[in-house]
Amino acid sequence: MKALTQRHLVLLVMLALAVAGCTGPSSLRFAQFAQSGIAFTEQVPSVYDYAFTQQVNADSAKLIADRKSAGKLGISGRDLAKSVNKRDELFRRRIEQFNTMKQHAVLLRSYFTALLELASGGQAETAGQSASDIAAQLDEMAPGVRKIRVGKVPLSGLLKPAAELGVSTFQNKLLQDHLEQHHGAIWEAMNLQRAILLELREFELKRDKLAWGARAKLEVAKPLADISHALPVNWQEKRLALLAASPSQTPVSAAIEAVDSLKRNFKSLASGQEGALDRLERSIVWVGALLTAYETVREGAEK
């Protein structure tokens, strides 16, 4: 019953806004935006689970390769043991960071839920207080999140100075007052999620580049250098396929697009413009589709 109520809450909000004289179209759009924010933040923890799994698997693959080539590399078993212990310590810190970002996403989801109720004008005073309380919690959490390092630079070094958003005049005065007071904290909360996702995407691209280089060496350069044997008949096609390959979309890259769209809509709606909620909704659906595809592939590999 709880899931059914949550799924149809936005429809009830739309109906309430349509018949209420105290709210206008902007409040309706904000309710739709908040519903999209809920859907996105529900997916974020799974994106971090995906990223952590991919990073550990890539590292395990490298350790296995190093073990196979230990003699050539001059690596001893003791060296390998030290290496895995050192890397596991790094991953233990990484999972703590990801858990922090999951908690941040859950708190952001609670904010969007309160914003949805605030935009409805129904329990506006209670929802407004709840939204303000959560915005304050996000603001308190921000300094710790800014210190997180995925690469060499903490997230604080990746953030641009916060832009002051213009807040429009809404018929829903409580919504207007809330946005004027707390829009900065929410804007930063979205930026913090985006910053760490960008760092994770950078990791993915570097990993893919290394994998591409290994394939190019094995499938293109090595056969060409072996002049004592004929080239494979499909050598030209393999070379073209590798050169034409573009970075594939992943749940991380899709989440970046979604949070960018979330930010654009928040900025435009706060200033009284329409935004592009259809694009935001499509972005969120795409994140879910990629997560589902990844889970399907992983489950198939584990059987």
Whether the predicted pLDDT of 17 surpasses 50: no
Q: Select the more confidently predicted residue: 22 or 300.
A: 300
Query: Confidence class of residue 162 from pLDDT cuts 50, 70 and 90?
Result: low
CA separation, residue 156 to residues 93, 101, 147, 148 (Å): 18, 14, 6, 8
Q: Which of 106-115, 177-186, 230-239, 242-251 has the highest mean pLDDT?
A: 106-115
What is the DSSP-derived secondary structure letter of residue 21?
A: S
Q: What pLDDT sits at residue 67?
A: 87
Count CB neighbours of 253 within 10 A.
20
Query: Which tens digits make up the pLDDT trace of 168-180?
Result: 777 788 888 998 9
Q: What pLDDT sits at residue 191?
A: 93
Rounded to an integer, the average pLDDT of 69-87 is: 86
Least trusted range by pLDDT, from 9-13, 43-47, 206-210: 9-13
Q: What pLDDT sits at residue 18?
A: 42
Query: Confidence class of residue 219 from pLDDT cuts 50, 70 and 90?
Result: confident
Q: Select the more confidently predicted residue: 146 or 19.
A: 146
Q: What pLDDT sits at residue 271?
A: 84
Query: Which tens digits make up the pLDDT trace of 243-293?
Result: 766 667 899 999 999 999 999 999 988 888 877 888 999 999 999 999 999
DSSP 187-232: HHHHHHHHHHHHHHHHHHHHHHHHHHHHHHIIIIIHHHH-TTSPPP
Query: Confidence class of residue 24 from pLDDT cuts 50, 70 and 90?
Result: very low
Q: Select the more confidently predicted residue: 46 or 125.
A: 46
Sign of CA dihedral 263, 268, 272, 277: negative
pTM for this entry: 0.81
Give the closest residue to 187 by CA, choosing from 166, 157, 171: 166
Rounded to an integer, the average pLDDT of 70-91 is: 87
Q: What pLDDT sits at residue 8?
A: 54
